Amino acid sequence: MEAMISSFDGTKLYLNKEIPDHARAIGVIVHGLCEHQGRYGHMAEKFHQAGIGTYRYDHRGHGRSEGERTYFGDFHELLEDARVVIDRALLENPDLPVFLIGHSMGGLTVSLYGAAYPNQRIRGIVVSGGLTHDTNRLVSRVPGGQDPHIKLPNSMGDKVCSVTEVGEAYKKDPYNAQTFTIGLCYALQEGIAWLSENAGEFRYPVLMMHGEKDVLVNVKDTRELFRKVSSADKQMKIYGGLFHEIFFEGCKEKVIGDVLRWMAGRI
């Protein structure tokens, strides 16, 4: 099912919901900066084969969702858009365990959710290459006091994955943004700072994953978040030799399989 749904402030978000027959769990997949939910179709297919339904949505200002392109007024827009989709998944699947899976900026999003809403019916959270500390100053290098609507070039295509074809496809994808706004950078800076202060409120079972050779989001971000969260059930997997997009690397079947096995152990 594809639909445009209203977020907390009326902004329309593009939602792709796919539930296989006899589903045993639900996964809400949250994409990263400048990309869109459609890139995770191969991952969703593996979930469906394992009996796990998926909810995928485009962040506001991304893909087919409404909103100024790649712009957030503050980090609460990122968080509350996710909450709207997650609430829908919980409401529509009252008898199934619900998991969150977020990559990069999506990893920050699900981490913010885990800290901001610690008592929801969420069975577990998977954070992939989460931009949760910004050790590499991907967005923190942008100084304050600038026009938040100014656009910066997206030069991440050659750095997302060690598989050349993935980087080439990334740059050609019409739904991937070629620029992102300073306002988005400011919002992420605020969200990262808030998470740093509140990560101790995160108590959900969590699997944190990261590519060791990620030059966009440093693996130290994941190590720092792992140290700060209060989860009794927490695991961390660092993949040697992999770049930022571990779900697209040559060994993606193994990486996605690791996620599915972790989820299966908590269903």
Which amino acids are annotated catalytic?
104, 214, 244
Nearest to 247 by CA among 103, 63, 110, 133: 103
Q: Residue 241: which region, alpha, beta or left (left: phi > 0; alpha: psi -120 to 50)?
A: left
Find all residues with CB under 8 Å of 236, minimum gap 6, and list them.
207, 208, 209, 210, 222, 223, 226
> Where are the alpha helices (H) located in the chain, listed in sequence order?
41-49, 75-92, 105-116, 164-172, 182-198, 219-228, 252-264
- Among candidate residues 149, 212, 232, the one with its CA nearest the CA of residue 183: 149
Separation between Cα atoms, residue 267 and residue 107, nearest integer Å:
21
Using DSSP bridges, classify how beta strands 179-181 and 151-153 pair: parallel, antiparallel or unpaired: antiparallel
| Cβ atoms of 228 and 256 closer than 8 Å | no
Dihedral angle sign, alpha carbons of residues 81, 86, 89, 90: negative
For residue 22, give the amino acid letter. Answer: H
Pairing of strands 2-6, 12-18: antiparallel
Helix (H) or strand (E) holding 57: strand 52-57
